[in-house]
Amino acid sequence: LMERMPVTQISVLDIGRITFYALPALASFIFPVTFLMGVMFVFSTLAQRNELTAMKAAGVSLKRIVLPVILFGAVLSGAVFLIADRCEPWAFNRLTRLVAVDMPLRMSLEMLPTGVMHEFGDWRVYLGRRDPDGMLHDIVILQPSKEGANAFYAASAGIKEIDGKKHIELKDGLFIPADPRQHFMFQSLTKEVPAPGTRKLSTSSDGMTTSQLFAEEKRLGKSFEETGALPVGIELHKIRLEIKNRLAFPLMCLAVSLVGAPLGARSKRAGKSFAFSIGLIIIAGYFALRKLVELPVLLPLAVTVGLGQIPNLLLCVAGLLLIWRVDRV
């Protein structure tokens, strides 16, 4: 949709709004990754400076030190879920409306790129070239009618405003109606410019809250049971995957908090490069496993959600084992 907009019609404010509306969709990825790296670096630094050893000597167990990290990971998981459930659908709907409705309504006929056929309202318009003063040359306009389509060809044209509405004044041209026998040439012909067209706002799972996703899954599931239609099954599969992601990604914050702190504590004098490398391996393994359990077949909702939690469960089990043994570091 953005490619259809002339560059001159896109402002810095538009780019800023698009960037802002895109941020909530990245929260599910950014929060867990940055949280894991932060935890790894902090505990790696504590280990390098022997501060963990000093705490153990003072009678403070490493399990006690790790506990606040785990609690914060749980809080962060709740925050990410709220962002994905509330902020992301709101931002997605605002983004699609901005690109599909608000920005096209600002588009003007005289600013269309030259050398390309455009859809403008119910017209199809071709502009050959444009002078610096705004005069248009080599214009072709195709206008639909009940009998077919009317075609206007003009050597030049200019835009002017009449009674608050924009009009295009075609000069030195040819008019070919749906019945070509009635064609005629003209020196000047003025036509009212139609309002710019907008795109239909299509429904998407990205614009639904979690409760709406469950309601849509129920509706599609019932429809698929009754009809067995393949398109319905494809949409049902997409909705179930979206529900799986909505529930799995937020819990990644809790999962990485369990495994990040004890691994960072074990880095000792290996340095931050060790913590960074281990963090990258964990992240790469998590997303690789996530793709492996995302089977390309329609499965029951409970099975789909359960498979999506496998990466989190593996991280949690590994983290609990490391925490159990962390005081031996």
Q: How far apart are CA 245 and CA 253, in angstroms?
A: 13
Show the CA angle centred on residue 174, arms to residues 173 and 179, nearest 5°: 160
Intervals of the chain under pLDDT 70: 1-8, 202, 267-271, 326-329
- The reported pLDDT for the residue numbered 264 is 76
Q: Which has the closest alpha carbon to 318: 327, 306, 328, 326?
A: 326
- The reported pLDDT for the residue numbered 171 is 94
Q: How far apart are CA 217 and CA 171, in angstroms?
A: 57
Instruction: Name every residue whose Cβ is closer than 8 Å to that of residue 106 and which is 6 or more positions away in sequence.
Output: 9, 196
* 38, 40, 44, 47 alpha-carbon torsion, rounded to 10°: 110
Q: How far apart are CA 91 and CA 226, in angstroms?
A: 34
Q: Does the global pTM surpass 0.95?
A: no
Q: What is the tens place of the pLDDT at every residue in 48-105?
A: 888 888 888 888 887 888 888 999 999 999 999 999 999 999 999 999 888 888 887 7
- The reported pLDDT for the residue numbered 327 is 58
* 203, 205, 207, 212 alpha-carbon torsion, rounded to 10°: 100
